């Protein structure tokens, strides 16, 4: 009997890339929908959410532009629009020159309302067993690290792109890596995507 073929004949990496691309489309349309509901553009929404959780050193136009992979003038336009909507204020930073961005009370309230913008994705992932989530996180962070080295993806503060990351130090498949800064094993489930101690490799 002929062997039945599954996977529609496409290689596994091709299908995985297709699935990630589809996910990206879905998230973009979800972001557009929630942003529109609050009278924002998706970039303005990202800025409001980032300002609600970032420490002061990252609350500047240039830092936000780098984080969201847009030019500084583009991010500056988005920030000016948020100022006109009374959602953020600019004030001198600790050095007196740099402009620190801060959410107004109205902006903080909008950020709280926006927090669950990707709730459908989180709910879908929550239905996936934790070991599978950890393996998927590991796979995606490895791919992101490769793409960062090729300048396809902007730098993220991930373990896999950090100079303190020691790969494959242990035999435990659930915790193979090590952090030389924290001096601790790094279980796959604990790999960080936005580590404050991150330093580029």
117 forms part of the interface with ligand SF4 (CB under 6 A): no
Q: By CB under 6 A, tell whether 162 contacts ligand SF4.
A: yes
Distance CA 47, CA 38 (A): 13
CA–CA dist 111, 83 (Å, integer): 14
Question: Does 197 participate in binding ligand SF4 (rule CB under 6 A)?
Answer: yes
Quote the CA–CA distance of 59 and 64 in Å, as a whole number: 7
User: Residue 165 Cβ, how far from ligand SF4 at the closest point, in Å?
Assistant: 4
Which stretch, 18-26, 35-43, 123-131, 175-183, contacts ligand SF4 (CB under 6 A)? 175-183
Q: Residue 123 to residues 19, 48, 112, 117, 118: CA-CA distances in angstroms?
A: 17, 23, 18, 12, 9
Give the residue with the Cβ less far from ligand SF4, 103 or 145.
145
Distance between CA atoms of 105 and 89, rounded to whole angstroms? Answer: 10
- Under the criterion CB under 6 A, does residue 48 sit at the interface with ligand SF4? no
The residue from 77, 181, 187, 189 that contacts ligand SF4 (CB under 6 A) is 181
Q: Minimum CB separation from ligand SF4 for residue 133, in Å? A: 18
Q: How far apart are alpha carbons 194 and 161 in whole angstroms?
A: 11
Shortest Å distance, C-beta 107 to ligand SF4 = 29
Task: By CB under 6 A, tell whether 192 contacts ligand SF4.
Answer: yes
- Work out the burial of residue 85: count CB atoms within 10 Å of its CB; fewer than 13 is exposed, 13-18 middle, 19 or more buried: middle
Give 145 or 195: the residue with its C-beta nearer to ligand SF4.
195
Task: Report the C-alpha gap between 30 and 168 in whole angstroms.
Answer: 37
Task: Write the binding mask 57 to 86 for ligand SF4: x where contact by CB under 6 A, - elsewhere.
Answer: ------------------------------
Q: Does residue 195 touch ligand SF4 according to CB under 6 A?
A: yes
Helices 12-37 & 42-53 angle (0-180, nearest 10): 90
Residue from 111, 156, 165, 188 in contact with ligand SF4 (CB under 6 A): 165
Binding site for ligand SF4 (CB under 6 A): 159, 162, 164-165, 179, 181-182, 192, 195, 197-198
């Amino acid at each position: 009997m002929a062997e039945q073929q599954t996977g529609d004949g496409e290689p596994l990496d091709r299908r995985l890339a297709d699935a990630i691309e589809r996910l990206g489309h879905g998230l973009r349309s979800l972001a557009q929908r929630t942003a529109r509901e609050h009278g924002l553009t998706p970039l303005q929404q990202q800025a409001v959410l980032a300002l609600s959780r970032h420490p002061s050193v990252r609350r500047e136009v240039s830092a936000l532009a780098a984080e969201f992979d847009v030019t500084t003038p583009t991010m500056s336009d988005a920030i000016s629009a948020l100022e006109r909507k009374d959602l953020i204020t600019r004030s001198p930073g600790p050095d007196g020159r740099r402009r620190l961005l801060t959410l107004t009370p109205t902006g903080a309230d909008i950020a709280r309302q926006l927090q669950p913008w990707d709730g459908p994705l989180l709910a879908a992932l929550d239905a996936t067993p934790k070991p599978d989530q950890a393996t998927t996180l590991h796979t995606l962070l490895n791919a992101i690290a490769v793409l960062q080295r090729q300048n396809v993806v902007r730098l993220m503060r991930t373990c896999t792109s950090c100079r303190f990351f020691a790969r494959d130090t242990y035999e435990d498949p659930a915790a193979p890596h090590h952090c030389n800064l924290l001096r601790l094993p790094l279980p796959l489930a604990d790999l960080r995507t936005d580590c404050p101690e991150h330093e580029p490799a």
